[in-house]
Structure 1
Amino acid sequence: MSAPRKYPDELRERAVKMVFELREETGNKTGTIARVADRLGVHREALRTWVRQAEIDGGRRTGTTSPDAARIAELEREVRELRRANEILKAASAYFARELDPRLPR
Protein backbone atom coordinates (compact mmCIF):
# COMPACT_ATOMS: atom_id res chain seq x y z
CA MET A 1 0.00 0.00 0.00
CA SER A 2 1.36 3.44 -0.85
CA ALA A 3 1.80 6.29 1.58
CA PRO A 4 -0.84 9.01 1.76
CA ARG A 5 -0.15 11.97 -0.49
CA LYS A 6 0.83 15.24 1.09
CA TYR A 7 -0.76 17.39 -1.60
CA PRO A 8 -4.19 16.82 -3.19
CA ASP A 9 -4.33 15.89 -6.88
CA GLU A 10 -6.21 19.12 -7.71
CA LEU A 11 -3.37 21.20 -6.29
CA ARG A 12 -0.81 19.19 -8.26
CA GLU A 13 -2.69 19.66 -11.52
CA ARG A 14 -3.24 23.38 -10.87
CA ALA A 15 0.41 23.97 -9.98
CA VAL A 16 1.71 22.17 -13.07
CA LYS A 17 -0.74 24.06 -15.26
CA MET A 18 0.39 27.36 -13.72
CA VAL A 19 4.05 26.54 -14.45
CA PHE A 20 3.29 25.77 -18.10
CA GLU A 21 1.16 28.92 -18.48
CA LEU A 22 3.82 31.12 -16.86
CA ARG A 23 6.48 29.65 -19.13
CA GLU A 24 4.34 30.42 -22.18
CA GLU A 25 3.60 33.98 -21.05
CA THR A 26 7.15 34.91 -20.16
CA GLY A 27 9.00 32.67 -22.59
CA ASN A 28 11.38 31.96 -19.74
CA LYS A 29 11.85 28.56 -18.09
CA THR A 30 14.16 29.80 -15.36
CA GLY A 31 12.52 30.54 -12.03
CA THR A 32 8.96 29.61 -12.96
CA ILE A 33 8.85 26.56 -10.71
CA ALA A 34 10.21 28.53 -7.75
CA ARG A 35 7.69 31.35 -8.25
CA VAL A 36 4.70 29.04 -8.54
CA ALA A 37 5.86 26.86 -5.63
CA ASP A 38 6.27 29.88 -3.36
CA ARG A 39 2.93 31.31 -4.44
CA LEU A 40 1.07 28.05 -3.70
CA GLY A 41 3.06 27.01 -0.64
CA VAL A 42 4.35 23.83 -2.27
CA HIS A 43 7.87 22.47 -1.89
CA ARG A 44 9.93 23.40 -4.95
CA GLU A 45 11.34 19.92 -5.51
CA ALA A 46 7.86 18.38 -5.33
CA LEU A 47 6.63 20.78 -8.00
CA ARG A 48 9.74 20.18 -10.10
CA THR A 49 9.03 16.43 -9.98
CA TRP A 50 5.38 16.95 -10.97
CA VAL A 51 6.35 19.19 -13.89
CA ARG A 52 8.98 16.69 -15.07
CA GLN A 53 6.43 13.85 -14.96
CA ALA A 54 3.83 15.99 -16.79
CA GLU A 55 6.40 16.70 -19.50
CA ILE A 56 7.13 12.97 -19.82
CA ASP A 57 3.43 12.10 -19.93
CA GLY A 58 2.87 14.85 -22.51
CA GLY A 59 5.67 13.62 -24.75
CA ARG A 60 7.82 16.73 -24.26
CA ARG A 61 10.56 14.78 -22.46
CA THR A 62 11.84 11.22 -22.64
CA GLY A 63 11.16 8.85 -19.79
CA THR A 64 8.66 6.35 -18.42
CA THR A 65 5.10 7.61 -18.53
CA SER A 66 2.81 7.27 -15.51
CA PRO A 67 0.64 4.52 -17.05
CA ASP A 68 3.75 2.59 -18.10
CA ALA A 69 5.26 2.90 -14.61
CA ALA A 70 2.03 1.62 -13.04
CA ARG A 71 1.95 -1.31 -15.48
CA ILE A 72 5.60 -2.14 -14.78
CA ALA A 73 4.95 -2.14 -11.03
CA GLU A 74 1.92 -4.39 -11.53
CA LEU A 75 3.94 -6.84 -13.65
CA GLU A 76 6.79 -6.89 -11.11
CA ARG A 77 4.30 -7.78 -8.34
CA GLU A 78 2.88 -10.54 -10.52
CA VAL A 79 6.36 -11.93 -11.23
CA ARG A 80 7.16 -12.00 -7.48
CA GLU A 81 3.92 -13.90 -6.78
CA LEU A 82 4.57 -16.39 -9.59
CA ARG A 83 8.14 -17.01 -8.44
CA ARG A 84 6.92 -17.61 -4.89
CA ALA A 85 4.25 -20.02 -6.15
CA ASN A 86 6.82 -21.79 -8.33
CA GLU A 87 9.14 -22.33 -5.33
CA ILE A 88 6.24 -23.80 -3.35
CA LEU A 89 5.35 -26.14 -6.21
CA LYS A 90 8.98 -27.27 -6.59
CA ALA A 91 9.20 -28.04 -2.88
CA ALA A 92 5.90 -29.93 -2.95
CA SER A 93 6.86 -31.97 -5.99
CA ALA A 94 10.21 -32.89 -4.42
CA TYR A 95 8.43 -33.94 -1.22
CA PHE A 96 5.92 -36.14 -3.06
CA ALA A 97 8.64 -37.62 -5.28
CA ARG A 98 10.48 -38.79 -2.14
CA GLU A 99 7.25 -40.18 -0.68
CA LEU A 100 6.38 -42.15 -3.80
CA ASP A 101 9.85 -43.44 -4.72
CA PRO A 102 10.43 -46.76 -2.95
CA ARG A 103 14.22 -46.58 -3.47
CA LEU A 104 14.64 -43.40 -1.39
CA PRO A 105 14.62 -43.48 2.43
CA ARG A 106 11.77 -41.68 4.11
Structure 2
Amino acid sequence: MTKKIRTYSAAFKAEAVKKIADNKGNVSATAKQLGIAMQTLSNWQNKADKGQLIGTKEYDPELMAILEENKRLKRDLKVAQEERDILNEEG
Protein backbone atom coordinates (compact mmCIF):
# COMPACT_ATOMS: atom_id res chain seq x y z
CA MET A 1 0.00 0.00 0.00
CA THR A 2 1.45 3.33 -1.00
CA LYS A 3 1.17 6.39 1.16
CA LYS A 4 -0.39 9.41 -0.53
CA ILE A 5 1.69 12.55 -0.18
CA ARG A 6 -0.36 15.65 0.53
CA THR A 7 0.85 18.98 -0.77
CA TYR A 8 -0.18 22.32 0.64
CA SER A 9 -0.15 25.77 -0.91
CA ALA A 10 2.18 28.46 0.36
CA ALA A 11 -0.86 30.45 1.49
CA PHE A 12 -2.15 27.51 3.57
CA LYS A 13 1.26 27.04 5.20
CA ALA A 14 1.51 30.74 6.06
CA GLU A 15 -2.00 30.78 7.53
CA ALA A 16 -1.29 27.62 9.52
CA VAL A 17 1.81 29.22 11.05
CA LYS A 18 -0.21 32.35 11.91
CA LYS A 19 -2.83 30.17 13.65
CA ILE A 20 -0.15 28.92 16.05
CA ALA A 21 -0.03 32.39 17.58
CA ASP A 22 -3.83 32.39 17.86
CA ASN A 23 -3.51 29.18 19.90
CA LYS A 24 -0.97 30.77 22.26
CA GLY A 25 1.94 29.00 20.58
CA ASN A 26 0.40 25.53 20.88
CA VAL A 27 1.61 23.68 17.77
CA SER A 28 -0.10 20.43 18.71
CA ALA A 29 -3.55 21.97 19.13
CA THR A 30 -3.18 23.95 15.90
CA ALA A 31 -2.14 20.84 13.97
CA LYS A 32 -5.17 18.96 15.30
CA GLN A 33 -7.50 21.80 14.32
CA LEU A 34 -6.10 21.84 10.79
CA GLY A 35 -5.94 18.07 10.43
CA ILE A 36 -2.23 17.95 9.70
CA ALA A 37 0.71 16.25 11.38
CA MET A 38 2.27 18.17 14.24
CA GLN A 39 5.76 17.61 12.80
CA THR A 40 4.66 19.09 9.47
CA LEU A 41 3.38 22.23 11.16
CA SER A 42 6.49 22.43 13.31
CA ASN A 43 8.66 22.25 10.19
CA TRP A 44 6.70 25.10 8.63
CA GLN A 45 7.09 27.16 11.78
CA ASN A 46 10.86 26.57 11.78
CA LYS A 47 11.05 27.68 8.14
CA ALA A 48 8.99 30.77 8.94
CA ASP A 49 11.30 31.62 11.84
CA LYS A 50 14.28 31.41 9.47
CA GLY A 51 12.59 33.64 6.87
CA GLN A 52 12.18 30.77 4.42
CA LEU A 53 8.38 30.36 4.32
CA ILE A 54 6.63 32.27 1.55
CA GLY A 55 3.67 34.33 2.72
CA THR A 56 4.95 35.08 6.20
CA LYS A 57 6.13 38.50 7.28
CA GLU A 58 9.57 37.06 8.05
CA TYR A 59 10.01 35.75 4.47
CA ASP A 60 13.15 37.12 2.87
CA PRO A 61 13.38 36.65 -0.92
CA GLU A 62 17.01 37.77 -0.94
CA LEU A 63 17.89 35.06 1.58
CA MET A 64 16.11 32.47 -0.54
CA ALA A 65 18.00 33.60 -3.66
CA ILE A 66 21.29 33.27 -1.79
CA LEU A 67 20.36 29.79 -0.51
CA GLU A 68 19.42 28.66 -4.03
CA GLU A 69 22.67 30.03 -5.43
CA ASN A 70 24.58 28.28 -2.67
CA LYS A 71 22.93 24.95 -3.58
CA ARG A 72 23.77 25.45 -7.25
CA LEU A 73 27.39 26.32 -6.49
CA LYS A 74 27.76 23.25 -4.26
CA ARG A 75 26.43 21.03 -7.07
CA ASP A 76 28.80 22.67 -9.57
CA LEU A 77 31.74 22.21 -7.20
CA LYS A 78 30.91 18.54 -6.67
CA VAL A 79 30.80 17.95 -10.44
CA ALA A 80 34.11 19.79 -10.93
CA GLN A 81 35.75 17.74 -8.15
CA GLU A 82 34.48 14.48 -9.67
CA GLU A 83 35.80 15.51 -13.09
CA ARG A 84 39.16 16.41 -11.55
CA ASP A 85 39.35 13.05 -9.78
CA ILE A 86 38.57 11.21 -13.01
CA LEU A 87 41.27 13.14 -14.87
CA ASN A 88 43.78 12.47 -12.09
CA GLU A 89 43.07 8.73 -12.27
CA GLU A 90 43.62 8.68 -16.02
CA GLY A 91 46.77 10.74 -16.07
- 1:16 aligned partner: 17
Shift in Å at residue 51 of structure 1?
0.6
Unpaired runs of 5+ residues, structure 1, are: 60-64, 95-106
State the 4+ residue runs in structure 1 displaced beyond 6 angstroms: none
Corresponding residue pairs, total? 77
Which of the two has higher C-alpha Rg? 1
Shift in Å at residue 55 of structure 1?
1.0
Q: Mark the CA change 1:45 to 1:68 in structure 2 (over 3 Å): closer, same or farther.
A: farther
2-structure distance, mates of 1:43, 1:81: 37
Deviations 1:51-98, CA, capped at 9 Å, x for gaps: 111011128xxxxx6555433332221111011111233234x2xxxx
TM-score (norm 2): 0.63
1-structure distance, mates of 2:83, 2:39: 41
Which of structures 1 and 2 has the larger relative contact order (alpha carbons within 8 angstroms, sep 6+)? 2
Shift in Å at residue 44 of structure 1?
0.6
Aligned-residue CA RMSD in angstroms?
A: 2.5
